[in-house]
Amino acid sequence: MRTTMAGFTSFPSLLLISSLLLASYGAACASKVQASVTIVDGLSWTFYNSSCPELESIVRTHLKTVFEKDIGQAAGLLRLHFHDCFVQGCDGSILLDGTDSDPSEKDASPNLTLRAKAFQIIEDLRELVHNTCGRVVSCADIVTVAARDSVYLAGGPEYSLPLGRRDGLTFASQETTVNSLPSSTSNASELVAGLANFNLNATDLVALSGAHTIGIGHCTSLTSRLYPTLDSTLDDTFADELLEICPDADSNSTTVLDIRTPNKFDNKYYINLVNRQGLFTSDQDLYMYNVTSDIVTSFALDEELFFDKFVDAMIKMGQLSVLTGEEGEIRANCSVANSDSTVKLTSAEGDQKETGSAYAV
């Protein structure tokens, strides 16, 4: 068993942390959490109670079926919500298609590794929801609910969501998209500064990064840690494994973000970091940087604490620059703004007749 640079012996610590986890796990899963975060004007915990009471059960039921076939899709949907919210706010703009001459957010480099299937799942959900309720639920809200259910169905906390987002009419430029999303090569000090621009603090950063407890990454997101020089913060055995998976700087293979429990939403991500087995610089440096290190350790020791802070941070992130009330629109197709659609949407009355809802927009 190797000892890490700071004299940290990986295996015994893991055992200690694991037994502590067992004690807290049951309590963390027991009930639906309501975040202790201020809700912005226009969003509400009961937004669809009368206009679409079926919303959450439709999404939950469909995603259960999807994840039974492929739990990896949970990671894709969770990341989609993050990439929606950090670019121009949680307005569903990530879903919009561009053209060759006017590329959309989807076409920007950090978004090329979003899963194509995630976009399809959102559109399938929209269709199911609109077939039942009419065009009253936004794509931005569907992305938010799908992300929450991805966390829960992968084993994470269940929490209530403030809803009522409206869909944006436009997408951000390529430049804005690239500049708004953090890079896997950023260090923790840069990430703390970057997230402060979104009013997210160091605890939010560490908690949100815990989303990397599920899903995969491409070698291209981590090979700067391997070539030309091996990152000295990497655990030796883990480094050898990564060198095998990504044999040169241009390898295009993928690997799991959480080597312990890659498909389960738990706090093992933080145990990886404590053991220097974080995949990206942006992960591992959270443990190396004095401002965030103790937060990582506290989440590694206490899964319930991680879940609580994760829920608060997700609710905060989910409210970034949201459109509400009369702003934006409710898209009839998540990948196209209504004004660009060939489907005629001018008559709310027409929508009501078509869908049977009294609340069509």
The whole-angstrom separation of Cα 155 and Cα 3 is 31
Q: Is 87 annotated as a binding residue?
A: yes
Q: Does 89 bind ligand HEM (CB under 6 A)?
A: no
In the set 47, 82, 119, 287, which binds ligand HEM (CB under 6 A)?
82
| Least distance from ligand HEM to the Cβ atom of residue 138, Å | 19
Closer Cβ to ligand HEM, 159 or 280, answer by number: 280
Q: Are 310 and 200 in contact (CB under 8 A)?
A: no
Among 221, 267, 335, 338, binds ligand HEM (CB under 6 A): 221
Q: Which is nearer to ligand HEM, 275 or 281 (CB)?
A: 281
Tokens 């009330």 correspond to what residue? 325
Least distance (Å) between residue 248 CB and ligand HEM: 16
Cis preceding linkage at 228, omega within 30 = yes
Decide: is 113 part of the binding site for ligand HEM (CB under 6 A). Answer: yes
Contact 128, 58 (CB under 8 A): yes
- Residue 182 makes contact with ligand HEM by CB under 6 A: yes
Query: Which residues, in sequence order, are bridge partners of residue 33?
Result: 159
Residue 358 has a CB neighbour count (10 Å cut-off) of 11
Task: State yes or no: residue 78 binds ligand HEM (CB under 6 A).
Answer: yes
Quote the radius of gyration of the chain (alpha carbons, Å): 21
Which of 138/292 has CB closer to ligand HEM?
292
261 is in an annotated binding site: yes
Residues 194-213, interacting with ligand HEM (CB under 6 A):
208-209, 211-212
Between CA 66 and CA 359, with CA 83 as vertex, the angle to 5 degrees is 65
CB of 38 to ligand HEM, least distance (A): 20
Distance of closest approach, residue 344 Cβ to ligand HEM, in angstroms: 36
Q: Which amino acid is at 291?
A: V
Query: Smallest distance, Å, CB 224 to ligand HEM?
Result: 11
Nearest to 90 by CA among 38, 31, 21, 162: 162
Q: Is 217 in the site for ligand HEM (CB under 6 A)?
A: yes
Residues taking part in catalysis: 83
> Residues with Cβ < 8 Å from 108, sequence gap 6 or more?
174, 177, 178
Q: Is 183 annotated as a binding residue?
A: no
239 binds ligand HEM (CB under 6 A): no
Alpha helix segments (H runs only) across the chain? 10-29, 55-69, 72-85, 116-133, 139-153, 174-180, 188-196, 202-209, 236-245, 268-274, 281-288, 290-301, 303-317, 348-355
Q: Which residues are annotated as a binding site for Ca(2+)?
A: 84, 87, 89, 91, 93, 105, 213, 258, 261, 266
Residues of this chain that interact with ligand HEM (CB under 6 A) are: 72, 75-76, 78-79, 82, 113, 115, 182-184, 186, 191, 208-209, 211-212, 214-218, 221, 257, 280, 282
